[in-house]
Amino acid sequence: MIPAAFYYVRASTLNQAIDLLRDDPDETKLLAGGHTLLPALKLRLASPALLIDIGGLAELKGIAISKTGVRIGALTTHAELFASEPLNKELPVFRQAASLIADPQVRNRGTIGGSLANADPAADWPGVVVALQAEIEIAGPNGLRRVAARDFFVDIFSTVLEPNEILASIHIPRPKAGTRFLYRKIRHPASGFAVVGIAVGVRLQQGVVAEISVGVTGAANHAFVGHRAADFLTGKMLSRENIDQAAKLLSETTECLSDRYASAEYRANLIRIETTRALLALSS
Ligand SMILES: Cc1cc2nc3c(=O)[nH]c(=O)nc-3n(C[C@H](O)[C@H](O)[C@H](O)COP(=O)(O)OP(=O)(O)OC[C@H]3O[C@@H](n4cnc5c(N)ncnc54)[C@H](O)[C@@H]3O)c2cc1C
């Protein structure tokens, strides 16, 4: 439980962090909340030569709400996302999802940027940002670039981030009036991570689905968009029969993960059940 030796630098600007990262990106790790990285160092699952602490970078902090949407700095903690009144007035799904993450200790230190960059297949925020149709802003030696959240996650613990890049912020377009979001998950009983998590955003017009987005986490190698359920429901009533059919289609979409906690068949069934529950809750 003792990490290998490493150099430690606390960056004071984003540019300094990018410069430091440029020197030897493969042997360097960024430290945000530390609630994933520090256990990995102690278990020697990671042994970087240099640790860049980005925890003090003002550029990566804060929640800003504008007419076009919401910008969340990468260093915003789960607890801050839970507590922000302006954010939760716009998008109450943040409070709801944050309340389901782990325990108060983890929520007080863990950051949304750290969670997304780490791309644990069982993390909660990936499913939520996919359903919110967010964009991830990435800072690197060539400046800033943006990637749709649905294209950000590549595989287990793998994203489109290059080793010399830093996840800077998350941008969520303002949803159309009347859009409601819900995140549901089946928690792993020990860690609280999602065995399966389903995030749904839906806008109804006279009971008919005008727009819908679905994000799935926990079930597969990485979070993904529930296209088949959304395509099936668009233009239809959110009736019990249609909900059942959409949930079934979604559960058949992907090759689910299988581990000692949950088989692939069990996870597929949880996709069906949690999608049904989320859509039923949003139908009334
Ligand atoms: C007991 C326990 C229970 C947990 N339960 C849950 C849960 O129920 N749901 C859930 O979603 N999560 C859960 N987590 C994970 C928790 O949310 C982590 O805090 C989070 O995944 C990582 O955020 P962090 O800020 O701590 O990142 P760190 O640990 O600092 O970093 C994690 C990784 O991301 C990289 N990184 C961090 N920030 C950036 C950035 N801005 N740009 C590029 N790379 C970056 C780091 O280099 C590192 O590789 C749990 C963790 C613990 C310890």
Helix, coil or strand: residue 161? coil
Residue 248 CA to ligand 1 centre (angstroms): 32
Residue 81 CA to ligand 1 centre (angstroms): 15
Please indicate whether residue 118, judged by its CB atom, sits closer than 6 Å to ligand 1.
yes
Residue 111 CA to ligand 1 centre (angstroms): 6
Q: What is the pLDDT of residues 84-107, one digit of tens each?
A: 999 999 999 999 999 999 999 999
The confidence score (pLDDT) of residue 191 equals 84
Residue 119 CA to ligand 1 centre (angstroms): 9
Please indicate whether residue 123, judged by its CB atom, sits closer than 6 Å to ligand 1.
yes
Of 3.30.390.50, 3.40.80.10, 1.10.1200.10, 3.40.50.11310, the CATH number of 180-283 is: 3.30.390.50
Mean pLDDT throughout 23-35? 94
DSSP 41: H
Counting from 1 in the atom list of ligand 1, the atom nearest the Cα of 187 is 8
Q: What is the pLDDT of residues 222-272, one digit of tens each?
A: 999 999 999 999 999 999 999 999 999 999 988 899 998 999 999 999 999
DSSP string, 203-216: EEETTEEEEEEEEE
Residue nearest to atom 38 of ligand 1 (CA): 114
Is the alpha carbon torsion for 159, 161, 167, 169 positive or negative? negative
The confidence score (pLDDT) of residue 97 equals 98
Please indicate whether residue 107, judged by its CB atom, sits closer than 6 Å to ligand 1.
no
Reply yes or no on domain 63-172 having CATH 3.30.465.10.
yes
Asked if pLDDT for residue 219 goes beyond 90, the answer is: yes
Residue 36 CA to ligand 1 centre (angstroms): 5
From CA 172, how far away is CA 193, in angstroms rounded? 23
Residue 118 CA to ligand 1 centre (angstroms): 6
The confidence score (pLDDT) of residue 160 equals 98
Of all residues in the chain, the percent with pLDDT exceeding 90 is 94
Q: What is the pLDDT of residues 114-146, one digit of tens each?
A: 999 999 999 999 999 999 999 999 999 999 999
Mean pLDDT throughout 153-178? 97
Q: What is the pLDDT of residues 192-217, one digit of tens each?
A: 999 999 999 999 999 999 999 999 99
Residue nearest to atom 40 of ligand 1 (CA): 167
Q: Structural domain boundaries of the chain? A: 7-53, 63-172, 180-283
Q: pLDDT confidence of 12, banded at 50, 70, 90?
A: very high
Tell me if 76 sits within 8 A of 61, measured CB to CB.
Answer: yes
Write out the two tokens for 152: 């950000």
CATH class of 7-53: alpha beta
Please indicate whether residue 101, judged by its CB atom, sits closer than 6 Å to ligand 1.
yes
